[in-house]
Amino acid sequence: MSDKNVHNAGFTPSGISQGSLASSMMSREAKESGGGVRSGGPTSTLQEMGARGTTHTSGYTSDGISSGSLASSRMSQEARSHGGGTPRGGTTSTVQSI
């Protein structure tokens, strides 16, 4: 994953771009949660990376999730809360796919 991919998806230093994949994700996530976007979810995680330009330093790479990274920690936490696996559409899988 690269910062360019995150920015191209609409997660930018100036916020989420109108009409982008990011805005669609934000809308869907807000509807599913009753009107808000939760901290630590896919949209907020990607926006944080887009604003800071921190995809590789977070551990989400084109070769997968780096051992010992923030991404690895988030993946472990998500797996524990879902009985051992990371769910499709969850934060880990969504962020890694972008």
54 DSSP assignment: -
Sign of CA dihedral 36, 87, 50, 18: negative
Going by pLDDT thresholds of 50, 70 and 90, the confidence category of residue 78 is confident
Q: What's the structural domain count of the chain?
A: 1
Percent of the chain clearing pLDDT 70 (strictly above): 98
pLDDT for residue 1: 53
pLDDT at position 55 over 80:
no
Question: Which residue carries 């887009």 as its tokens?
Answer: 50
**Domain extent for 56:** 2-96
pTM, two decimal places: 0.69
Contact 72/59 with Cβ under 8 angstroms?
yes
